[in-house]
Amino acid sequence: MVTITVIGTGYVGLVSGACLAEFGNHVTCVDTDAAKIEALTGGRIPIFEPGLEDVVQRNVRSRRLSFTTSLPGAMKGSDVVFIAVGTPPADDGSADLGFVEQAVREAGSLIEGYTVFVNKSTVPVGTAGKVRRWVREALDKRGLDIPFDVVSNPEFLREGNAVYDFTHPDRVVIGSGSAQAREIMKEVYRALYLNETPYIETSCETAEMIKYASNAFLSVKISFINEIANLCEKVGANVQDVAKAMGRDGRIGSKFLHAGPGYGGSCFPKDTRAIAATGRQYGLPLSIIETAIRANERQQALMVDKIEGGMGGPGALEGKTIAVLGLAYKQNTNDMRESPAIAICEGLAARRARLRVWDPQAMEEAAWRLKGISGGLCFAKDEYDTLEGSHALVLVTEWNQFRNLDLNRIRRTLLGPWFFDLRNIYKREEVEKAGLSYFGVGL
């Protein structure tokens, strides 16, 4: 059993903290957001993440997991400090390490004995060295020479599947130059280590690079199929069939070959921009990744063109009401960070469409993330309520409950025939049979 402090209790910190407690460790999660900690101590989970509530409640009950806003309290007796704060993009696209630096300096000023600092946040190559320097400076200020080590342990969980991913990872990556730290990390991850989860020990720099290279690769794969989809539309091919056949090739694999409105979320957009910034910094532009970023931005803009084109061309959106279903960047999360739905809603509003929007979990987020859209934005009560007074339906997020909509009811309620399925969930024939005009991506 290892005593752990997790700094940052967001999507990654909360899931990591709860699951590390489930592995038998003693975990205190800290956050500066008092409302978040108050919710958690009151038994409420501040994010939508399937299965998380059970793990949190179970481990709080067995006293292995607790929450606080007090870092000094949390740090008492801690062997390991996980840093799981945000690393948002700076203006030039590089990762802003401000939250990491603040958390590390604060924790460094509190350690009492040998401590392992673990970077769980996604941080650029070279950050472990900076963390070492920040802790050293904090100790120098105290006139102390307490031993410590730094580990890079990137996280690969997917929102919406986070608990499963953390407890059944494809791999655990541990970057460290210290044998002592590596032994402690084996204890931390003992449950997985014993389970023969692939456990990759490497240098800090390599671990940091693994995370960015993985996310950038997946982003490239998405942008790749989206560009192929756009070409499919022009030449009369079907991207679903293309992707299915490509995916059968074991060298390619079928995952992340779903054409759609472009990737979003808290990771792919910012991580691709951050690794591209690192490339430029070293005079080695990562041209494939740079292009994937541009292709993704274009894909989101193209969705607005698609809707306008489908409804009759330039000017067709003016005065029309569009029902938008799904605002989270993907299903099973309330996260709307860089969701394609935001760019699409803004693009439609800029062409003078009115919007009626709904999402099963992201309405609270939407209330402030879409507030830039002035006038003509209405928050609906459910999927069918979005249709009232709307001319067209745009399906942006692939929530399961959107996979079996009553197409006849949609046709009866909509003022126009237009059905834009930006996730290719429906079959053209069934939609057209209901009297709707169907538009997918790459079909």
- Catalytic residue ranges: 267
Q: How far is CA 123 from the centre of its chain?
A: 15
**Window contacting ligand NAD (CB under 6 A); options: 18-26, 78-86, 240-248, 408-416:** 78-86
Length of the chain: 443
- Nearest distance from C-beta of residue 332 to ligand NAD, angstroms: 12
Helices (H), 93-178: 98-108, 127-142, 162-167
**Window contacting ligand NAD (CB under 6 A); options: 52-60, 154-162, 358-366, 386-394:** 154-162
d(CA 117, CA 127): 12
DSSP label at residue 8: -
**Window contacting ligand NAD (CB under 6 A); options: 8-16, 20-28, 406-414, 416-424:** 8-16
Q: Which is nearer to ligand NAD, 329 or 358 (CB)?
A: 329
DSSP 198-240: -EEEE-HHHHHHHHHHHHHHHHHHHHHHHHHHHHHHHHT--HH
Q: Which residue is nearest to ligand NAD (CB)?
A: 10
Site track for ligand NAD across 34-53, x = CB under 6 A: --x-----------------
Q: Which is nearer to ligand NAD, 95 or 307 (CB)?
A: 95
Q: Which is nearer to ligand NAD, 87 or 223 (CB)?
A: 87
378 - beta bridge partners? 356
The residue from 1, 33, 43, 54 that contacts ligand NAD (CB under 6 A) is 33
Residues 6+ positions from 147 with CB-CB distance below 8 Å: 114
d(CA 199, CA 207): 12
The residue from 6, 12, 276, 327 that contacts ligand NAD (CB under 6 A) is 12
Q: Is residue 109 within 8 Å of residue 141, measured between CB atoms?
A: yes
Residues 6+ positions from 9 with CB-CB distance below 8 Å: 17, 29, 30, 31, 33, 36, 37, 40, 67, 84
104 lines the binding site for ligand NAD (CB under 6 A): no
With contacts defined by CB under 6 A, how many residues of the chain interact with ligand NAD?
26
Q: Which is nearer to ligand NAD, 36 or 411 (CB)?
A: 36
192 lines the binding site for ligand NAD (CB under 6 A): no
d(CA 30, CA 257): 38
The residue from 18, 55, 65, 85 that contacts ligand NAD (CB under 6 A) is 85
The residue from 2, 4, 13, 289 that contacts ligand NAD (CB under 6 A) is 13
9 lines the binding site for ligand NAD (CB under 6 A): yes
d(CA 380, CA 326): 11
Side chain identity at 200, as an amino acid letter?
I
Tell me the two tokens of residue 62: 């067995």
H or E segment to which residue 290 belongs: helix 287-310
The residue from 159, 365, 383, 421 that contacts ligand NAD (CB under 6 A) is 159
360 lines the binding site for ligand NAD (CB under 6 A): no
d(CA 101, CA 127): 10
99 lines the binding site for ligand NAD (CB under 6 A): yes
Residues 6+ positions from 137 with CB-CB distance below 8 Å: 105, 108
- Nearest distance from C-beta of residue 43 to ligand NAD, angstroms: 18
84 lines the binding site for ligand NAD (CB under 6 A): yes
**Window contacting ligand NAD (CB under 6 A); options: 29-37, 72-80, 387-395, 433-441:** 29-37
135 lines the binding site for ligand NAD (CB under 6 A): no
Tell me the two tokens of residue 328: 């989270």
- Nearest distance from C-beta of residue 86 to ligand NAD, angstroms: 4
**Window contacting ligand NAD (CB under 6 A); options: 4-12, 354-362, 371-379, 418-426:** 4-12
121 lines the binding site for ligand NAD (CB under 6 A): yes
Q: Which is nearer to ligand NAD, 120 or 356 (CB)?
A: 120
**At 361, is the secondary structure helix, strand, or coil?**
coil
Percentage helix, strand, coil, to 5, in the chain?
45, 15, 40
The phi, psi pair for 306, rounded to 5°, reads -60, -45
The residue from 3, 24, 32, 193 that contacts ligand NAD (CB under 6 A) is 32
The residue from 4, 6, 11, 424 that contacts ligand NAD (CB under 6 A) is 11
Q: Is residue 289 within 8 Å of residue 353, measured between CB atoms?
A: no
- Nearest distance from C-beta of residue 179 to ligand NAD, angstroms: 26
Report the interface residues with ligand NAD, using CB under 6 A. 7-13, 30-33, 36, 84-87, 99, 102-103, 121-122, 155, 157, 159, 266-267
